[in-house]
Amino acid sequence: MRAKISTMLLVLAALAGMGLAITGMADRGLEYVGLEKLSRTNHRYLDESYDRALEGFLVLSAVKSGLAVIEGSEVGIGFSLEVGDLVQSVYDYVNIAWKTVLAGGTILLITRLALDGVTLVDHWVLALTFFLLLLLAAVQGLSPRRRAILRILKSFTATCGFVAVLLYLVLPLAVLGASLLSDAITRPLIQDSYRTFNQVSRTFLDGDATADTGETSGDASALQSAKGLRERYGYFKKRLQDLEAYLGAQAKSLAGTTFQLIAGYLFDCVVFPLAFAAVLVFFLKGVPGFLVQAERDRRMVRSFREATAQRPAQPPSD
């Protein structure tokens, strides 16, 4: 009788849960307990991180363009300076940083789209979990001897339940944990890298702003035009020498900045989310086993106490 009552209660609970999941009421209820706030926090973190990556990508693109122009420059007029080899190493650092920011921004955008996609399918996975639970209760009540079918249904129900927990809790909490670690550890490194590359970018922009020095008017004489041309080449020569000295002094700093940026985005976009997800999955998989083992220990202790209490007392020996 007790088994039938338990089966009926399980059927009713499965039907109620399936109805709540399909109608969306389960999601609205979970939003009230904090999942909506968690979702807003994750989206704000991903949007801000993506915007920073986009700004850094534009800055590095400007630096790449400036270095590409200098790399192919050659200045004559009694002086020849080939600067391609001088900036090649610096260009390599900037190119690696550019690819890193491109990959990091893409991963952040994919993560945001993945969270948006999860909200579209999570309630259907929850509904499927309750449907399998309903089938399990029905088979257990009507055909309890079909143990093979019961084992298969239990396996599918547990798998769907685990996926539902993964979608509702593990993924959002993994992003939240990554955001907290990012704010404390990697965000300062990334911002410091952007400041260094911004300084390099301003150096090229300042050079472009002053590159018009020595231009002559349309009605200037040929002698004045030649003099202005010589002054412009003299300026370009000095400018390239200044850039050569600047890039030579900044080469080591840019190498360290590039390593810093790669490490920041690697931990920010890959290591931290995967580490938190692995910890949460391990925890979720370990909790049922811990509960089962605790229940076995409790039964063993109870059986031992009952056996000890029922043991007849030994008569005293003569």
Q: Annotate the chain with three-state secondary structure.
A: CHHHHHHHHHHHHHHHHHHHHHHCHHHHHHHHHHHHHHHHHHHHHHHHHHHHHHHHHHHHHHHHHHHHHHHCCEECCCCCEECHHHHHHHHHHHHHHHHHHHHHHHHHHHHHHHHHHHHHHHHHHHHHHHHHHHHHHHHHHHCCCCHHHHHHHHHHHHHHHHHHHHHHHHHHHHHHHHHHHHHHHHHHHHHHHHHHHHHHHHHHHHHHHCCCCCCCCCCCCHHHHHHHHHHHHHHHHHHHHHHHHHHHHHHHHHHHHHHHHHHHHHHHHHHHHHHHHHHHHHHHHHHHHHHHHHHHHHHHHHHHHHHHHHCCCCCCCC
Q: What is the predicted pLDDT for the residue at 224?
A: 45
81 DSSP β-pair partners: 75
2 token code pair: 């007790």
* Residue-level pLDDT at 216: 42
pLDDT of 206: 58
- pTM (two decimals): 0.69
For residues 167 and 110, the answer to whether their CB atoms sit within 8 Å is no
Give every residue of the chain whose pLDDT is below 70, as ranges: 1-3, 69-87, 144, 203-251, 284-299, 301, 304-307, 309-318
The DSSP result for 171-213, as a single string, is: HHHHHHHHHHHIIIIIHHHHHHHHHHHHHHHHHHHHHHHTTTT
Q: How many CA atoms lie within 13 A of 90 on its CB side?
A: 30
pLDDT at 246: 65
Tokens of 168: 């509702």
Average pLDDT taken over every residue of the chain: 75
